[in-house]
Amino acid sequence: MAGIATKSSALVSTLLTQAKPKFAVFMKYAAVELTPPSPADLPAIKNGIVKLVSGAKNGTWKNLTVREAWLNSLVAMEVCFWFYVGECIGKRHLVGYKV
């Protein structure tokens, strides 16, 4: 039993040693990517929406490469999935609402 305790403590210390650099990189990117938009970002967001709407009207979406179209599709799916996750969290159920 004592051998299991020493092996598990060594395994945990090795795990923590290897995880620290990866966790630091994760936190560096999380601090940038997961922050809400600041008021300085609002003009860029507005310009992006205007560009998106004008591109839909003019048909410039037809000139996308397959890679760009695939990435745009993935972003749209990610937004939908986060919406559904938020709905599940908000209603505190996986299926349906209590009527």
Q: pLDDT higher for 7 or 41? A: 41
E strand or H helix at 89: helix 66-91
**Res 82 pLDDT > 80:** yes
* Mean pLDDT of all residues in 41-45: 94
**C-alpha span between 71 and 77 (Å, rounded):** 10
Q: CA angle, corner 14, sides to 10 and 15, nearest 5? A: 115
Please choose, from the candidates 88, 78, 66, 68, the residue with its C-alpha nearest in 3D space to the C-alpha of residue 33. 78
64-76 mean pLDDT: 94
Average pLDDT in the 14-24 region?
A: 91
Q: What is the pLDDT of residue 89?
A: 85
Task: Give the whole-angstrom CA distance, residue 69 versus residue 76.
Answer: 11
Residue 97, pLDDT score: 66
Contact 37, 45 (CB under 8 A): yes
